[in-house]
Amino acid sequence: MLQPLLFHGPCKPTTITIELKGTIVAPRVVEDWKFREDNTTWIKFSSINGLVIVGGGKVDGQGSPWWIKYPKKSNENNKPTAIRFYNCHNLTLSNLTHVDSPRNHISINYCKDASISNLHIIAPEDSPNTDGIDIGSSTNVLINNSTMKTGDDCIAINNGSSFINISGVFCGPGHGISVGSLGKDKKYATVEHVHVKNCTFNGTSNGVRIKTFEGGSGYARNITYEDIVLVGVKHPVIIDQFYDPKYIDNVGQAVEVSDVTYLNIRGTSLDKNAIELNCDTIVGCTNIILDNVNITRVDGGEAQTICTKAKGKCSSCYPDVPCLSQNSSAIRY
């Protein structure tokens, strides 16, 4: 059993390697956790450059008692993240299994040049707030060849993040790969240069999602989703600028969503609305490009689209996206 632990740099060596061969386990009982200076994290690495963590081992966050004690989304700040990397540049994380974090499994904050690969992140579908990887205020982050089965976002790309490349990720169950949420409490937030490619979503509540709060400001731009496979996803393609109904009175001010491309997206939707572009009535979404998109319904019914205040182009799309200009007729394959 490992109590909460902080590794704090800076360190003299240019590279520090940690090999995890066995299993590290968090305290089973909530009251047994002995936090020191940071009660938001189980294991924290701070200001350590050139950190390499490998070895094929397992990180077990023993999250079940936390989920029972704090079951609601509003309680998420009462639960600790399993592993947090803060201000760690040239980070490598590979060949590890992470299970049952009390909250999100891995947080990447204020980091630059991170390479994350061959991870298995697993938590029950009904476990609250158990994101796979959360990225915030970080740049040049590469995530590839990983499997994530969680109770929340498989990957969430949050404020201050740029040049995020994700490929070869299997997500499901979970809430998909999300940009945001952005702009809560009227805050300024930015995300740009995101590329999600060759990913599969199986039985997730969302597929490729951008979510922002009404009343915020800033931008989410230059985002590409390419070569995506969807299997029984409830909301396959979604831009939601009304993420939380509590903020609906702030209509007319929003994080600007622009230059978003969906290329070669195919699969099946559980919901009748396979594509949802739900943009602010005044700010709207601009330069939204859909090219070679084919999403049918699991039950064989006619797939539909919600499209509000979005501008852009759609080429070879099924279902048709009526608020975007059409380069060719919708085709059902």
Q: pLDDT per residue over 30-77, tens digit each?
A: 999 998 778 899 999 999 999 999 999 999 999 999 999 999 776 778
pLDDT for the residue 281: 86
| Lookup result for tokens 């005044």 | 282
Q: Contact, 298 vs 313, CB < 8 A?
A: no
Q: Are 283 and 256 in contact (CB under 8 A)?
A: yes
How high is the pLDDT of residue 247?
62
What's the pLDDT score for residue 77?
82
pLDDT digits (tens, 9 = 90+) for 1-33: 999 999 999 999 999 999 999 999 999 999 999
If phi > 0 it is left, if psi is from -120 to 50 it is alpha, else beta; for residue 117 that is beta
Residue 248: pLDDT band with limits 50, 70, 90: low
User: Does the pLDDT value for residue 332 go beyond 70?
Assistant: no
Catalytic site residue from 120, 175, 195, 235: 175
Position 107 pLDDT exceeds 70: yes
Q: Are 81 and 108 in contact (CB under 8 A)?
A: no
CATH architecture group of domain 5-326: 3 Solenoid (2.160)
pLDDT of amino acid 325:
73
Q: How far apart are the first and last CA of the chain?
A: 54
pLDDT tens-digit series, residues 249-288: 666 688 999 999 999 999 999 999 999 999 998 888 999 9
**Mean per-residue pLDDT of the chain:** 94
Cα separation of 186 and 116, whole Å?
32
The DSSP-derived string for 237-294 is EEEES---GGGGGGTT-B-EEEEEEEEEEEEEESSSEEEEEE--TTT-EEEEEEEEEE
At residue 205, the pLDDT reads: 98
Looking at residue 227, its pLDDT comes to: 99
CB atoms within 10 A of CB 330: 17
Distance CA 284, CA 277 (A): 10
**5: how many CB neighbours lie within 10 A of its CB?**
12
Structure tokens at 126: 């009904």
| Pairing, β 155-157 against β 133-136 | parallel
Q: Can you tell me the mean pLDDT for 180-206?
A: 97
The yes-or-no verdict on residue 329 having pLDDT over 60 is: no
> What pLDDT is attached to residue 95?
98
H/E run at residue 162: strand 161-171
Q: List, for residues 145-188, the tens digit of each pLDDT value.
A: 999 999 999 999 999 999 999 999 999 999 999 999 999 999 99
- Structure pTM? 0.95
89 assigned to active site:
no
